[in-house]
Structure 1
Amino acid sequence: MSQIPPQPVDLMIEARWVVPVEPHAVVLEDHAVVADGGRIVAVLPIADARAAYAPRERVELGEHALIPGLVNSHTHNPMTLLRGLADDLPLMVWLQQHIWPAEAKVIGPEFVRDGVELAVAEMLRGGTTCANENYFFPDVIGATYRRMGFRAVVGLPVIEFPTAWATTQDDYFARAVAVHDSFLSDNLISTAFAPHAPYTVSDESFERIRLLSDQLDIPVHLHLHETAHEVAEEKTKSGLRPFQRLQKLGLVNDRLIAVHMTQVTEGEIAACAAAGVSVVHCPESNLKLASGFCPAEKLRQAGVNLALGTDGCASNNDLDMFGEMRTAALLAKAVAGDAAAFDAAYALRAATLHGAQAIGLGACIGSIEVGKQADLAAVRLSDLETQPLFNVVSQLVYATGRHQVTDVWIAGQRKLAARELVDIDTAAILAKTRAWRERIAAA
């Protein structure tokens, strides 16, 4: 009987540990992930992989854990250029007296493009391969992500006042549909409606969003119940809590991505679980702005799909999803009064598969499974700071820093190699960033 020759494939990554996320909390020792045409075709022991496949590229990672690329489920990435501009201020003072005025003086296509370039470089160096974006000039944002080979869901902004992007309600919606249509067949870029928040968006706009979200089958991504002030203001204005208002308008469904949710009742948690709402927890931004504490463990126990996001660099001040995982896990334990709450395996799942599910990409990314896109990050665990190693997943969440990410792939394409960005001009990004610093400071 003739032996079957090894099958030619694009890529084989051999790792000391593969953490697929699905199945939950599993760690595969001495396994390989095989990819071809940008998709994962096999996950199997290294010896079996070598016998079955002939890769055009083989990467050996004998001291690494290979994980799904991290999913940052709530970002304002052009705001990397505002990092550190107005720190240590409460949300509304920070937003209305500092961030919005500063943005108004500089916002435009070039600001957005250069901010996204800086963000992509930072995210790749931290193992993040997908972002859920919420900012103006989504056409420029999507084009920049696409040019840099980075996966993103691009928000289609809606707000009730004129901006540099659009001037009227009809203008916002016409531009939103045009941007959505421009990325319809794109492998890396998809879209979501991004109404800013209930306090800046009218019922009429929300009704149009609900209708178009149903027609286009895209998510709705918004800030919700971020602060107690927001909830109290809405109750005074309409007699309803913001969540109740969205329920009344038909927006509480499995397309809703509700960001922050620090002020929620038991009934609202149950309603989120029943409707299939995804909640994005941004613990570090919430802590820095003193916005409140998302009851993450209650949401988890209720079965709500809970994802993680950094928020923008103006309020965090980084795009470090390893830091976000650790903070989320520790904070959830303190808020719940339970040291077993929000364990490490769940934190990693929230930063990967749950994020992918929240933004409508759960069938595509978020776990290392056959058929999914090869969006992967390799994390070196041999450093002094992560030794000795008893539990890989716990070490990833509680002890690992983003500087230990050595290699990253998106759709099987290498984006970070031995800590060096691939096909990204770091010097040019830094030069543009410094120029923006001077311009913003002068303004």
Structure 2
Amino acid sequence: MQDVDLLIVPRWIVPVEPHLTVHEDHALVVDGGRIVDLLPADFARQAYRARETLELPNQVVLPGLVNTHTHAAMTLLRGLADDLPLMNWLQDHIWPAEGRHASAAFCRAGVALAAAEMLKGGITCFADQYFFPESTVEVLREASMRALVGVPVLEFPTPWAQNAQGYISRAVDVIEANRTHPLLGFAFAPHAPYTVGDPALERIAMLSHEMDVPIHMHVHETAFEVEDAVAQHGERPFARLKRLGLLSREFMAVHMTQLNDQEIEDCATFGVSIAHCPESNLKLASGFCPVSKLLDAGVNVSIGTDGAASNNDLDLIGEMRTAALLAKGVSGNAAAFPAAQALRAATLGGARALGLEERIGSLERGKAADFIAIDMDQIDSVPMYDLISQTVYATGRDRVTHSYVAGRALMRGRELQTLDESAIKAEARQWQQRIIKGLQA
């Protein structure tokens, strides 16, 4: 009998890989932060002696959800400027608020609030893009959460840097200072084609290759973005990125609501991943990402929430449902983006987009033990005909009971283990009062 750290015995396990697989009365075996086995529960009890056994008789265990696009600190701006189109929302409300309040302290408080919300909703890994990434790193080290920290690049001054050269210099410093952390990766995060010039993008492309660091960027978020670029420069933004050498398997394009057939083909050819943010796109009336066409072309599609200032939550279970339903409406095909494919996009597809598919995204031997448990014994979960469909279409994030990263419990029985929920909420309310005073000034 082999000694191991943890034996998880739920009613069901959905490993995501192989696709459509559902195990009943099986056990997940974890040791040293990694999955060492997945086998029938009776055999597991005979073969392994666990230091801890987690019995979950009413739950389904899944890989931890991977949220591939957030601006975590913007939880402090949740609801500040609702029901507005993108450029009005950005230029007249969000950017001025950030100019007044963005700081290391603001980002620490906002990221802590976001991390707590995400862990309580089953998100164990996320890709971020925001100022003061040092503060993001500080919070995530304390939380023991997995993330890809995007270090922003813009042409105009903000509280974090003054110009593109300054952003890139600071980005390199942050990445080099933290890149050995086992749970944290880093990306260059140029904001968008309309906010970053050619010289900076060419420099980022070169550094990405030299440092083996991916690129995370908003692209083709709205029709106006594309039309304005064509009017001013005679070139669509995605074609410009292709010309500048940014497109590769290391490039993640966020939103991508405006795509022609050639651009979809280029995504497949270069191995570009898409971070699909359906609810943010709907709320800002930005357009619809052609998910079905992308998948048919062999493009990797993941799912992101975007920031809480434009969503207004960090709920990837809700986002899966919206993505699945929206794809059907946009394509006119009720079979488009079925539940299992939406779940795959929110787990293994997200891991692939972040370059982590060999480590997370599915429950397989040798991978990190990043997993969640969802209670399926509530009134809205019976009867049960198809577990995966029920999880996507009829489950809420409040039903997540456990969240683990690398075999460590970050939430157990709905209680956060590495973050102080009461203190986080209290600090967020203090920031709310400061922001309200700033609006009244």
TM-score range, shorter chain: over 0.9
The offset of 1:424, in angstroms, is 1.9
Q: Alignment partner for residue 266 of structure 1, among 261, 267, 289?
A: 261
The offset of 1:146, in angstroms, is 1.3
Q: How does 1:217-232 map to 2 (within 5 A)?
A: 217-232=212-227
1:184 aligns with 2:179: yes
Alpha-carbon distance between aligned partners in 2 of 1:325 and 1:259, rounded to the nearest angstrom: 16
**Conserved 8 A contact 2:5-2:51:** yes
Q: Secondary structure at the match of 1:194?
A: strand
Q: Alignment partner for residue 339 of structure 1, among 334, 338, 343?
A: 334
Q: Alignment partner for residue 21 of structure 1, among 3, 12, 16?
A: 16
**Alignment partner, residue 197 of structure 2:** 202
1:211 aligns with 2:169: no
Decide which moves more: 139-148 or 114-123.
139-148
**How many pairs are equivalent?**
438
**Alignment partner, residue 295 of structure 2:** 300
Q: Secondary structure at the match of 1:200?
A: coil
The offset of 1:236, in angstroms, is 1.3
Q: Alignment partner for residue 325 of structure 2, among 327, 330, 345?
A: 330
1:376 aligns with 2:386: no
1:174 aligns with 2:169: yes
The offset of 1:168, in angstroms, is 2.7
Q: Secondary structure at the match of 2:25?
A: strand
Decide which moves more: 211-220 or 195-204.
211-220
The offset of 1:169, in angstroms, is 2.5
Q: How does 1:44-55 map to 2 (within 5 A)?
A: 44-55=39-50
Alpha-carbon distance between aligned partners in 2 of 1:427 and 1:290, rounded to the nearest angstrom: 35
Alpha-carbon distance between aligned partners in 2 of 1:196 and 1:60, rounded to the nearest angstrom: 45
Q: Alignment partner for residue 391 of structure 1, among 386, 391, 412?
A: 386
**Alignment partner, residue 112 of structure 1:** 107
The offset of 1:423, in angstroms, is 3.1
The offset of 1:27, in angstroms, is 0.5
**Conserved 8 A contact 2:305-2:311:** yes
Structure 1, unaligned stretches of length 5 or more? 1-5
**Alignment partner, residue 145 of structure 1:** 140
1:413 aligns with 2:408: yes
**Alignment partner, residue 235 of structure 2:** 240
**Conserved 8 A contact 2:165-2:200:** no
1:91 aligns with 2:82: no
The offset of 1:170, in angstroms, is 2.3
When the two chains are superposed, the root-mean-square deviation of aligned CA atoms in Å is 0.7
Matched residue type, 2:125: C
Q: Secondary structure at the match of 2:27?
A: strand
**Alignment partner, residue 102 of structure 1:** 97
Matched residue type, 1:359: L
**Alignment partner, residue 348 of structure 1:** 343
**Conserved 8 A contact 2:15-2:22:** yes
Query: Structure 1, residues 193-239: CA drift from partner, whole Å, max 9, x if none?
Result: 10000000000000000000001111100000000000011111211
Alpha-carbon distance between aligned partners in 1 of 2:177 and 2:6, rounded to the nearest angstrom: 31
**Alignment partner, residue 121 of structure 2:** 126
Q: Alignment partner for residue 40 of structure 1, among 32, 35, 51?
A: 35
Alpha-carbon distance between aligned partners in 2 of 1:51 and 1:21, rounded to the nearest angstrom: 26
**Conserved 8 A contact 1:142-1:152:** no
**Conserved 8 A contact 1:14-1:46:** yes
The offset of 1:156, in angstroms, is 1.3
Alpha-carbon distance between aligned partners in 2 of 1:41 and 1:47, rounded to the nearest angstrom: 16
**Alignment partner, residue 421 of structure 2:** 426
Alpha-carbon distance between aligned partners in 2 of 1:68 and 1:432, rounded to the nearest angstrom: 31
Matched residue type, 2:248: N
Q: Secondary structure at the match of 1:423?
A: coil
Query: Structure 1, residues 37-92: CA drift from partner, whole Å, max 9, x if none?
Result: 11111111101111111111100111111000000000000000000000000100
**Conserved 8 A contact 2:142-2:418:** no
Alpha-carbon distance between aligned partners in 2 of 1:427 and 1:98, rounded to the nearest angstrom: 29
**Alignment partner, residue 439 of structure 1:** 434
Alpha-carbon distance between aligned partners in 2 of 1:399 and 1:41, rounded to the nearest angstrom: 31
> Where does structure 1 differ by over 2 angstroms across 4 or more consecutive aligned residues?
none
The offset of 1:387, in angstroms, is 1.0
Decide which moves more: 351-360 or 421-430.
421-430
Structure 2, unaligned stretches of length 5 or more? none
**Alignment partner, residue 3 of structure 1:** none
Q: Could you tell me the TM-score, scaled by structure 1's length?
A: 0.98
Kindly, what percent of the aligned residue pairs are identical? 56
Q: Could you tell me the TM-score, scaled by structure 2's length?
A: 0.98
